[in-house]
Amino acid sequence: MKVQALTALLFLLVAANEAKTMEKCELAKTLKSHGMDGFQGYKLGDWVCMAYHESKYNTKAVGPPNKDGSRDFGIFQINSKYWCKDGKHPSKNGCNKSCSSFTNDDIRDDIECCKKIVRDPKKMDAWVAWVKHCKGKDLSQWTRGCKL
Ligand SMILES: *[C@@H]1O[C@H](CO)[C@@H](O)[C@H](O)[C@H]1NC(C)=O
Ligand SMILES: [Ca+2]
């Protein structure tokens, strides 16, 4: 009985976790429909690769605190010091958004914020995981098999 209850709980947790995680091609398609293919010179694969390595496509991801106390929010791990308000720490709030709007399943505003971030001089270098895992790499796998 105990084991069954535990199994059921585990299943629910896994199911709940999956519900907030996007599929690769679903993300690629959404990004494309928002004009991200070629935006500021970056390919769709750059954005999909970045999202995978930042959040594993988890729209509700909240990163651990950075050295300055800020955190990174959502599928694109948008930083609370510069781009959104967490209500606790001072923020430049460059995207004029509450950070909690980057942890729901509607990623349209997250994408709009990415457009602001990538217009900054650092461009996609703002995403450490992108620099480490995606920059200058063959990105074809990130859109492979997707009907775009
Ligand atoms: C910021 O967002 C608020 C509410 O969504 C809006 O009323 C305001 O005009 C925005 N400010 C800027 C500078 O875009
Ligand atoms: Ca959102």
Tell me the per-residue pLDDT of 73-126, one tens digit each, with 9 for 90 and over: 999 999 999 999 999 889 999 999 999 999 999 999 999 999 999 999 999 999
135-142 mean pLDDT: 98
Active-site position among 18, 37, 46, 72: 72
**Rounded distance between C-alpha atoms, residue 111 and residue 134, angstroms:** 18
DSSP H helices in the chain: 2-19, 24-33, 44-55, 108-119, 128-133
Residue 54 bears catalytic tag: yes
Residue 10 lies in a domain: no
Residue 86 lies in a domain: yes
Active-site position among 54, 86, 109, 125: 54
Within a 10 A sphere around the Cβ of 130, how many other Cβ atoms?
A: 23
**Rounded distance between C-alpha atoms, residue 14 and residue 135, angstroms:** 32
Task: Report pLDDT for 6.
Answer: 56
Task: Report pLDDT for 20.
Answer: 77
Task: Report pLDDT for 8.
Answer: 55
Residue 147 lies in a domain: no
Check pLDDT > 70 for residue 7. Answer: no
Q: Please, are residues 66 and 77 in contact by the beta-carbon 8 Å criterion?
A: no
**Domain containing residue 33:** 20-142
Residue 99 lies in a domain: yes
pTM of the model: 0.86
Residue 105 lies in a domain: yes
**Rounded distance between C-alpha atoms, residue 61 and residue 58, angstroms:** 5
Task: Report pLDDT for 3.
Answer: 57
Distance 96 CA to ligand 1 centre (A): 6
Check pLDDT > 80 for residue 24. Answer: yes
Instruction: Give me the number of domains the chain comprises.
Output: 1
Residue 18 bears catalytic tag: no
Query: Tell me, what CATH number does 86's domain have?
Result: 1.10.530.10
Q: Categorize the per-residue pLDDT at 11 as very low, low, confident or very high, splitting at 50, 70 and 90.
A: low
Residue 102 lies in a domain: yes
Mean pLDDT of the chain: 91
Q: Please, are residues 57 and 23 in contact by the beta-carbon 8 Å criterion?
A: yes
